[in-house]
Amino acid sequence: MNRLTIGLKQAGLRLTPQRVAICKILAESKDHPTAMMIYHQLLPQFPTLSLATVYKTLNVLKSMGLVHTLGDAGDGAEHFDADLTPHINLVCVRCNSVVDFDEGLIHAVQQAVEQRSGYEIQGARIVYYGLCPQCRVNGTAKQQESAQ
C-alpha cells in the first residue's frame, strides 16, 4: 500500500489486483518505465492483462497528479515517473537509459520561474540528454540501435 494506491482509493476507485500491481512497479522501479515495459513486467503474473488496462491506469494516475510523464527518451514511447519531488532526469541518447539526478539549484529555478512568469506551475520536466559516462567510454558503436 503505497502513495499511489492510497491515492486511487481516496479517489473512490477500486483497488483491483492489476492496479495495485501497476502502482507497485511505478513506486519501486527506478528506470522510468513505459506502458509497454510495465505490461511485459506484469504479463507473467497476469497472463490476460491488457495493454489498455495499463494505459487506462496510467492515465488515471497521471490525471490525479500522482505520476509525471517525461516524454519519450528517444525510443518513441512515453516514460512515467512516480517520483514527484523536483529532480532532473538524465537521458542517454545512445543507450536510452533514464536516471534521476538531484540538483539543489532547481528549487531556486522553479521559484524564480513561478514568481516572474505569472504561471501557476503544476509540474516540471527537466531532462538533460547526452552520453552517459558508460557510453562515453564505450565510445564506438551504438549499444542498442534504438526503436525508431
Partner DNA sequence: TTTGCTTCAGAAAATGATTTTCCATAGGAG
Partner DNA sequence: CTCCTATGGAAAATCATTTTCTGAAGCAAA
Nearest to a second copy of 20, 64 (CB atom):
64
Residue 7, H or E segment? helix 3-10
Contact region with a second copy (CB under 8 A), list: 3-11, 27-35, 43-51, 67-75: 67-75
> Would you say 36 or 90 has its CB closer to DNA?
36
Residue type, 101: F
As a whole number of angstroms, the distance between CA 141 and CA 47 comes to 37
Q: Which is nearer to a second copy, 47 or 133 (CB)?
A: 133
d(CA 86, CA 125): 9
Q: Could you say whether residue 123 binds a second copy (CB under 8 A)?
A: yes
Asked whether 129 and 135 are in contact (CB, 8 A), the reply is no
Place of cell 524564480: 112
Q: Which residues bind a second copy (CB under 8 A)?
A: 70-72, 88, 90, 92-93, 101, 103, 105-106, 108-110, 112-113, 116-133, 136
